Homo-oligomer: A and B are copies of this chain.
Amino acid sequence: MKNVPFKGIIAYPITPFDQDEKVNIPLFKKLVERLVASGSHGIAPLGSTGVLPYLSDEEKEAITEATIQQVNKRIPTLVGVSNLTTEKTVYHAKFAENAGADAVMIIPMSYWKLTDDEIVTHYDTVASKISIPIMAYNNPATGGVDMSPTLLKRLLEIPNVTMIKESTGDVQRMHYLRKELGEDVAFYNGSNPLALAAFTAGAKGWCTAAPNLIPELNISLYKAIENNQLKEAQDIFYKQVELLKFIVAKGLPRTVKAGLNILGEDGGNLRSPLKPLQQCDIEELETIINHLKN
């Protein structure tokens, strides 16, 4: 049987920096603790939210170890190890496994558009070097390549590629995955504004940075779906949809940091060229968050 350690709300922490733009590990651990304490069902460091591509190898390793240490097996961990070259992806995947990660997430990062064969070989090479499961991640907007459903099907034939995360924002992709690959395939939604539609379509989980700001709403949406309460799920979704759209539109690292500040929490600094959210956007986010409290 396939090894699928995740369901429900998989929370993505940001990577906070100090004033010199160095990674702030103590603050990172505090942010991870908040996510675990709030009831998230999984934790995923070194995703897009965690600005993976902006970090050095040493920083990635420190983040990986800090996460696993802080979570301490309370919930499963999913570590991002994507890299442009196959060699580096293998390196980070092995590091994550040795550090104790439950699974790794890999997006086929692409500068030169990869052929399907190149992508399959890339995953196959990494998969053969580790024994923990892999979540294959499709997000053309950040990764630069759009894996077709046919390609995803090929990837799932690799034994430890057991999960798919879809972030194209097209609910029909999920219909295809479910219809074509069968009910047993674990697919996850990575597009925040599609949270309701994706769960309705049968997504096993929701990969999201939103629990940094509104964990109760995220978790209660999942519970309403689990309890077959459609109208309730609809109400809970419409409460949070504005925030979900806002954080996606303005960029997750910037908006999560700003949102944490609004909630009275320290979100650290960003690394250049990323800059803090503009003042007018901060005010809009404040309005959205305050509106949720009522």
Contacts and interface: CB of A to CB of B under 8 A. Distances in A.
A121 to B, nearest CB: 6
B196 A272 contact: no
A279 interface: no
A283 interface: no
B21 A87 contact: yes
A interface bracket (residues with beta carbon within 8 Å of B): 35 or more
Contact of A118 (B85, B125, B233, B275): B275
Given A200-B200, A271-B85, A225 B230 contact: yes
A178 interface: yes
B48 A111 contact: yes
A273 B122 contact: yes
A190 interface: no
A21 to B, nearest CB: 7
A273 B179 contact: no
A38 interface: no
Contacts of A108: 273
A293 interface: no
Interface string A226-255: 001111011000100110010000011110
B241 A175 contact: yes
Contact of A242 (B53, B118, B179, B200): B179
A282 B86 CA distance: 24
Interface string A162-184: 00000001011001001100000
A66 interface: no
A84 interface: yes
A111 to B, nearest CB: 5
A273 B272 CA distance: 28
6 contacts: A108-B273, A114-B273, A122-B272, A122-B273, A169-B172, A175-B193
Closest 10 CB pairs of A and B: A86-B272, A122-B273, A197-B197, A200-B200, A230-B230, A53-B111, A118-B273, A86-B273, A171-B197, A228-B230
Given A51-B111, A200-B200, 14 more contacts: A48-B112, A53-B84, A112-B254, A112-B274, A113-B251, A175-B193, A175-B241, A179-B238, A196-B200, A197-B201, A200-B233, A228-B229, A228-B231, A229-B230
